Structures are given as structure tokens and as C-alpha cells.
Amino acid sequence: LDYYSESKAAFRPGVRGHYGPNPWPHQLPELRPAVLDYVHHMTKLGETLMRLIAIGLELPPNYFEKYYDDPYWGIRAIHYPPIQQHRPPSSASSASASTSASESSSVALGVGEHTDYGCLTMLLDNGVPDVLQVRDARGEWVAVYPAPGAIMCNIGDMMARWTNGIFRSTPHRVLRPEVDRIAVPFFFEVRGFTHN
């Protein structure tokens, strides 16, 4: 299930891509207001994070605002079916919480190694343990253990490029869970035609 910003730019002649009205299912009339309410709150969080990033870069807090006055966003609901075989759980110890990149072929993946291409990706923790891993500077996979109800934030390639590598997009992957899991990442992007 994917939904994208119904940006004002959607109605410009000749514009192509993920623009225009979303096809909301008639069978679930409560879906649209629920998604749009979630989008509203996540967009506000994205705007706050952009102000904090500006402060971290020793820029005025509103430095990036002109780039997200009509932010482009995407939201995706992804189902991860449970793994059929037993996978030993990770622990907080470095010996079992990380694996080297060469060991990754023996792990059952839900999504393989990647970096997000955009600005910020935010994901509400859904309480399913031992599924999200990031690759650290040594090339080892490290399990992520968010606090219950936490929202995890990932820096995307665009933000890494925009900050000249000060903020880096971290390679990450998703392991197959022991139980059914639905993840709903929110992709906060700047407006569709941003350039300096």
C-alpha cells in the first residue's frame, strides 16, 4: 500500500511522476482520514527535524523551510510474513548483535541492504524485535533496539549529499520476523522541484 503527497505541483501541466490524487479504497472510508492525520503529524515531525538539522549545521533554524513549503511525502505499508525457520535472536552483546557484511548471505532478509534515497525516513516502532539492522563504520550489522513507541529516523542520500556528508545515509536492512509484521515508513521529502 503506497500513498504519496497530493502536491500542488500535481496539477501543473506536463508534470510526471508520483503526483495527482491517490486512489483511496471505497471499502475502507476510515483509511483516508487516518492516513492523512498520521501524515500531518509526521510532516510536522519532519519539519522539526529539519530545523534541528539546520541548527546542527550552524545555520539559521528556518534555513531549509523554503525547500519544504509544499513537502513531497510518501507513506508505505509493508507486510513482512514470518520466517518459517528458527533464527537465533540478537542480543545487546556485540558478539551476537552484529554480523559482518560477508555473513549477510546466510540471513533471511525481508529487505536487503540499501540506503534511502530521499531526505528523511521515519518509522514508528511496532514492537517486533530483532528485525532492523544498520551497518556500522566497521562493516558489521548491528541490531537496532528502539524504545517502545519510539520513532526511528533515517538520513537519506539526498540529505547526505545536501550536507556534503556531514549527515550520512546509513546502510540498513530488514530481517524476516518471527511473527507477522507490518511496517509503515514515512518518507519526508522536500518539494518536488527543489534545486539551489
* DSSP secondary structure, the chain, as one string: -EEE---GGGGSTT--SS-S-----TT-TTHHHHHHHHHHHHHHHHHHHHHHHHHHTTS-TTTTGGGSSS-EEEEE-EEEPPPSS--PPP-SSHHHHEEEGGGGGGS-EEEEEE---SSEEEEE--S--S-EEEE-TTSEEEE--PPTT-EEEEE-HHHHHHTTTSS-PPPEEEEPPSS-EEE--EEEE--TT---
What tens-digit pLDDT sequence spans the chain (196 residues)?
888 887 665 555 555 555 567 888 999 999 999 999 999 999 999 999 999 999 999 999 999 998 887 778 899 999 888 887 545 555 444 434 444 444 545 678 889 999 999 899 999 988 888 899 999 989 999 999 888 889 999 999 999 998 999 999 989 999 988 888 989 999 998 876 555 5
